[in-house]
Amino acid sequence: MPDPTSRAVREGNYNVDPGVQFWATPPVHGCLVDEVIHPAAYTFKLPDNLSFAEGALIEPFSVGMYAATKAGIKPGDVAAVVGAGTIGIMTAIAARAGGASTVFISDVLPQKLALLDGLEGIVTVDATKEDLGERVRAETGGWGPQVVFEATGAAPAYKKLWEMPAPGGRIVLVGMPVDPVPFDIATAQSRGISLETVFRYANVYQKAIDLAATDGVDLSRFVSETFAFDDSVQAFERFLEGRPTDVKIQIAL
Amino acid sequence: MPDPTSRAVREGNYNVDPGVQFWATPPVHGCLVDEVIHPAAYTFKLPDNLSFAEGALIEPFSVGMYAATKAGIKPGDVAAVVGAGTIGIMTAIAARAGGASTVFISDVLPQKLALLDGLEGIVTVDATKEDLGERVRAETGGWGPQVVFEATGAAPAYKKLWEMPAPGGRIVLVGMPVDPVPFDIATAQSRGISLETVFRYANVYQKAIDLAATDGVDLSRFVSETFAFDDSVQAFERFLEGRPTDVKIQIAL
Amino acid sequence: MPDPTSRAVREGNYNVDPGVQFWATPPVHGCLVDEVIHPAAYTFKLPDNLSFAEGALIEPFSVGMYAATKAGIKPGDVAAVVGAGTIGIMTAIAARAGGASTVFISDVLPQKLALLDGLEGIVTVDATKEDLGERVRAETGGWGPQVVFEATGAAPAYKKLWEMPAPGGRIVLVGMPVDPVPFDIATAQSRGISLETVFRYANVYQKAIDLAATDGVDLSRFVSETFAFDDSVQAFERFLEGRPTDVKIQIAL
Amino acid sequence: MPDPTSRAVREGNYNVDPGVQFWATPPVHGCLVDEVIHPAAYTFKLPDNLSFAEGALIEPFSVGMYAATKAGIKPGDVAAVVGAGTIGIMTAIAARAGGASTVFISDVLPQKLALLDGLEGIVTVDATKEDLGERVRAETGGWGPQVVFEATGAAPAYKKLWEMPAPGGRIVLVGMPVDPVPFDIATAQSRGISLETVFRYANVYQKAIDLAATDGVDLSRFVSETFAFDDSVQAFERFLEGRPTDVKIQIAL
């Protein structure tokens, strides 16, 4: 929750308000309590055709939605996503539903890419066998993707990132690397690239719900397992296993 | 074809280059000849999964694509289209494929709206029974559509246009009225509306083809009838009938 | 003052928040009282080199600043302003200080234009003798202004407005006509024009103060007359005279 | 000169056309010949109040203009420029003339900063004594500059770059470092920063000339020395000295 009178809020960027409180980030411990009081302005109603499980996925989907919004996708643009973790997957789905004709997404773990099997307009690229940039250029007459999302935050992913977008294209930095990464500015300049950074999200929750409620977006497939409330400890233990194919673990009430 | 050295072309707006030649606009008579020589830069290859019939629909679809591009749709925006003629239909499809969560489209002729039956994310509104603006507000908690496309060019359609978008929203003027229309500037100002105008298209052909090739977009349903080449005269006569449900008449070669 | 938790505020458009209260608009009677309590978030400190008289002009200047901001002026753009009333003048100064190389401004009253005499980069055009659009085209090799501000709200001013901008240019509607005006959409379309509307202002007060504090902007010349507090009634009577050259009447405390 | 039918040109980005030929970049040897034939579309007429010396500075000024354009400066924004070399100086002047209220510019060489002495709205910061970011924050109530230009290309300059802009601000990368530089993505993300890259320029020459012709911009002070044509060899030798205060050496014809 941002401070509603701060300058960042007035300018429409409440996510970067230095005074924002996030209910999952220290010093706030999350919402595992019986009752919470939350401002109506930042509370949203789920439509009837979305389950609570899908509702729980609206939060990570909103990060993807915010990334897709900042990308400034034009209808029919070709997009590329580096990394098929939860955020990469959510970004790919948001980019496709948000106007991209095709989204190419790569990962080094084939089982993560398999989570996207059968989704129309999403092409998976096994990064251990194929270079994402080369693949997209091959399928776009050498031009490349107008929009590239970096969703790993892993140092090696940045090596070929700066040359990937089409001339005049855009890189959206979603992954959050712990340390600074080498930035090949000269390459980015020669292609006239712009870059956007993503930090949580702002003004996309309602739109995330609206898109999630369409047939084109099916978040339910990413609920990896549902635990009964009495098995909550098991749910957290499962989360700590860090299975590569786990996107969201739900605890049903 | 624009003059490639003109100022409008250098600035990326080749559609408004005063020197542009359009192959369907006087003094150019169209392409009903055996052979044409056309610059490679403005010629595009159809992918294998698009028929020539769908290819013929890429031209009107490109108007819709250009309108959707100028609308600056953000992923999950709600859109409204006034008028379900060929251009209105193409705009609705481009807006939905281009990132809108729902596109509401109205017309006074139910048989035109019926052409869109069953398309996911497109809601038809019979303008003889229901007000488009009121309907969208009712379904968006009173907020209204972020983007409104005017696609009739008919004087009465502009009466309620200026109050239709959500605060900070956008009107895209696609229809081309013969005479000036009354513009309620004060209403538009009080809602902080911006407006874009559409004249043909620029830089969208490849993207139109890419989206038309996805499963989400099916242009083939809008080929109203196909005539053999020997029946070309009949095809033109059919066109002159002006049937409300005719979107595209194809002559097969 | 907007409702800080409203949707319009969260999206950064607090000026079009339907719940906004404006301290000069019914039902609020203005601030002619001994003491007011105003939220700190919407209160600004004047720097030492601005007088209270200039401070009083920050409000109308902010309308010009918001217009210039919405215009999306690119450095060196040529601008045109229709009407040299208080808002037209403030818009011309904001546009020039905001990046335009030259601002052409027209009015039918030469004494209003005379208020701008000697200001660098501002060219006055007597609308009774010369057409604003023709003049700008003549001085820009036929291209026209990239940005046009309408600042009269008077019906006749709209007649030639739609053809005035350069191809791909923008019209900013600042003046607020009482009745709808005829909008020549076809002309605007053939030139690829976009339009923005202005309603008060948002997020520009600090920037208005910063520019007003530069040598390039001198608002003090627009304080037409200063009255002592005991002569306040005279000040209001003077205002009611509606002298064409009166921009701001100050009451000193 | 770009290939006028290329895709980059059609999209308005002729500077990143891979086929562009630049008349100072191998394999083209420059224009030190008696006569050149140059396409009219990329040739501009100097107005009477600009000397040929100032005309010679339009080229580097255009880089600054393109940087200021890509910065998307809003009227009254505060800007910061890292580095007062030729390009840094030209960028600072373009940013100030292009709408910034104040431009703070830093360098480690005081004699370079001295070249800007007395220019209104430009504040020099000696980087050996003071941190640019801290200085701007101190003068903007802790908020920072909305726009930051990096104009050195020197590795140490990037260390504090990512934290410098105000929340939601923009970094424009003008300097071209030889090697990749460390990019602190997490810091840029937490402030919601966007980045633009600059490579030469596109569509700004006429606007550069128009601004250079105003009183607010005086490029003539940056002609460091003028040599007669017969002393051309001396002129090149002077250039090779690399004096820190040399901005442009002119050879008069």
Neighbouring chains to C with at least 3 Cβ pairs closer than 8 Å: A, B, D
Cα–Cα distance, D38 to C141 (Å, whole number): 20
Q: Return the top range by mean pLDDT from A208-212, D72-76, D209-213.
A: D72-76
pLDDT single digits (tens) D219-235: 988 988 889 989 988 98
Contact C65 D75 (CB under 8 A): yes
Neighbouring chains to B with at least 3 Cβ pairs closer than 8 Å: A, C, D
Of B4, B5, B11, the CB nearest to D12: B11
State the pLDDT at residue A201. 78
Tokens encoding A217: 């977006």
A7: chain D residues, CB-CB within 8 Å: 143, 167
Mean pLDDT of all residues in A59-84: 96
Contact C197 B192 (CB under 8 A): yes
Distances (CA, A) of C193 to B148, B167, B196, C170, D217: 17, 21, 7, 5, 30
Please list, residue by residue across B226-252, b when 16 or more beta carbons sit within 10 angstroms of its beta carbon and e when fewer do: ebeeeeeeebeebeeeeebebbbbbbe
Cβ atoms of residues D86 and D60 within 8 Å: yes
D39: chain B residues, CB-CB within 8 Å: 5
Chain C contact residues (CB < 8 Å to B): 7-8, 11, 13, 15-18, 70, 143, 153, 158, 167-168, 173, 175-178, 180-186, 188-199
Q: Which of left, alpha, beta for B220 (phi over 0: left; psi -120 to 50: alpha)?
A: alpha
Assign B115 to helix, strand or coil.
coil
D17: chain A residues, CB-CB within 8 Å: 167
Contact C207 D69 (CB under 8 A): no
Of C69, C75, C214, the CB nearest to D101: C214
Cβ atoms of residues D14 and B14 within 8 Å: no
Distances (CA, A) of A202 to A98, A130, B125, B141, C185: 16, 35, 31, 19, 35
Contact D167 A17 (CB under 8 A): yes
Of D181, D183, D199, the CB nearest to A189: D199
Mean pLDDT of all residues in C78-83: 98
pLDDT single digits (tens) D97-108: 999 999 999 999
Contact C182 B177 (CB under 8 A): no
State the pLDDT at residue A21. 60
Pairwise pLDDT comparison (B102 vs D51), residue with the higher score: B102
Cβ atoms of residues C73 and C81 within 8 Å: no
Mutate to test the interface with B, among D1, D6, D10 (most CBs of B within 10 A): D10
Q: What is the pTM of this model?
A: 0.91
Mutate to test the interface with D, among A78, A178, A189 (most CBs of D within 10 A): A189
pLDDT at D244 over 60: yes
**Residue-averaged pLDDT of chain C:** 88
Distances (CA, A) of B232 to B223, B237, C117: 15, 9, 68
Of D10, D39, D41, the CB nearest to B14: D10
State the pLDDT at residue A33. 62
D14: chain B residues, CB-CB within 8 Å: 10
pLDDT at A231 over 60: yes
pLDDT band for position C235 (cuts 50, 70, 90): confident
State the pLDDT at residue C19. 63
State the pLDDT at residue D121. 95
pLDDT single digits (tens) C187-213: 999 999 999 999 887 788 899 999 999
State the pLDDT at residue D2. 60
State the pLDDT at residue D36. 64
pLDDT band for position C163 (cuts 50, 70, 90): very high
pLDDT at D213 over 70: yes
Of A7, A181, A195, the CB nearest to D143: A7
pLDDT at C43 over 90: no
pLDDT band for position B36 (cuts 50, 70, 90): low
State the pLDDT at residue A248. 85
A95: chain B residues, CB-CB within 8 Å: 75
Closest chain A residue to the Cα of C9, Cα to Cα? A10
Contact B6 D202 (CB under 8 A): no
State the pLDDT at residue C26. 56
Contact D216 C75 (CB under 8 A): no
Contact D10 B13 (CB under 8 A): no
Pairwise pLDDT comparison (C58 vs B4), residue with the higher score: C58
Contact partners, residue B204, CB within 8 Å, separation at least 6? A75, A76, B62, B65, B66, B69
User: Which range (A37-46, B74-83, C65-74, C188-197) has the least confidence?
Assistant: A37-46
Cβ neighbours around B118 below 10 Å, total: 7
State the pLDDT at residue A249. 85
Cβ atoms of residues A118 and A50 within 8 Å: no
C7: chain A residues, CB-CB within 8 Å: 41
Cα A32 to chain centroid distance, Å, stands at 24
Contact C10 A7 (CB under 8 A): no
Pairwise pLDDT comparison (C108 vs A14), residue with the higher score: C108
pLDDT single digits (tens) D153-207: 999 999 999 999 999 999 999 999 999 999 999 999 999 999 999 988 778 889 9
A11: chain C residues, CB-CB within 8 Å: 12, 203
| Beta bridge partner(s), residue A129 | none
Cα–Cα distance, B218 to C218 (Å, whole number): 60
Mean pLDDT of all residues in C226-246: 88
pLDDT at C37 over 90: no
**Residue-averaged pLDDT of chain B:** 88
What letter would DSSP give residue A38?
A: -
Dihedral of the CA atoms D7, D13, D18, D22 (nearest 10)? Answer: 130
State the pLDDT at residue A18. 65
Contact C10 A203 (CB under 8 A): yes
Cα–Cα distance, D233 to D33 (Å, whole number): 15
Task: Provide the shortest C-alpha distance from residue A132 to chain C (in Å).
Answer: 35
Contact D120 C215 (CB under 8 A): yes
Cα–Cα distance, D87 to C88 (Å, whole number): 36
pLDDT single digits (tens) B195-208: 999 988 778 889 99
Task: Provide the shortest C-alpha distance from residue C237 to chain D (in Å).
Answer: 35
Distances (CA, A) of C228 to C30, C78, C234, D170: 19, 41, 9, 46
ipTM of the complex: 0.89
Cα–Cα distance, C193 to C170 (Å, whole number): 5
pLDDT single digits (tens) A95-128: 999 999 999 999 999 999 999 999 999 999 999 9
pLDDT single digits (tens) D133-158: 999 999 999 999 999 999 999 999 99
Neighbouring chains to A with at least 3 Cβ pairs closer than 8 Å: B, C, D
DSSP assignments along D161-172, one per residue:
TTT-SPTT-EEE
D167: chain A residues, CB-CB within 8 Å: 7-8, 11, 13, 16-18
pLDDT band for position D45 (cuts 50, 70, 90): confident
Of A10, A13, A41, the CB nearest to C41: A10
Neighbouring chains to D with at least 3 Cβ pairs closer than 8 Å: A, B, C
State the pLDDT at residue C64. 95
Assign C239 to helix, strand or coil.
helix
Cβ atoms of residues C194 and C173 within 8 Å: no
Contact A202 C41 (CB under 8 A): no
C40: chain A residues, CB-CB within 8 Å: 5
Percent of chain B with pLDDT over 90: 58
| Beta bridge partner(s), residue D150 | D82, D173
Q: Return the top range by mean pLDDT from A193-207, C66-80, D2-16, D23-37.
A: C66-80
Pairing of strands A78-82, A147-150: parallel
pLDDT at B22 over 70: no
Cβ atoms of residues A164 and A142 within 8 Å: no
pLDDT band for position A176 (cuts 50, 70, 90): very high
Mutate to test the interface with C, among B10, B16, B150 (most CBs of C within 10 A): B16
Closest chain B residue to the Cα of A73, Cα to Cα? B74
Contact D94 C75 (CB under 8 A): yes
State the pLDDT at residue D126. 97
Cα–Cα distance, D25 to D6 (Å, whole number): 20
What letter would DSSP give residue C33?
A: S
State the pLDDT at residue C229. 87
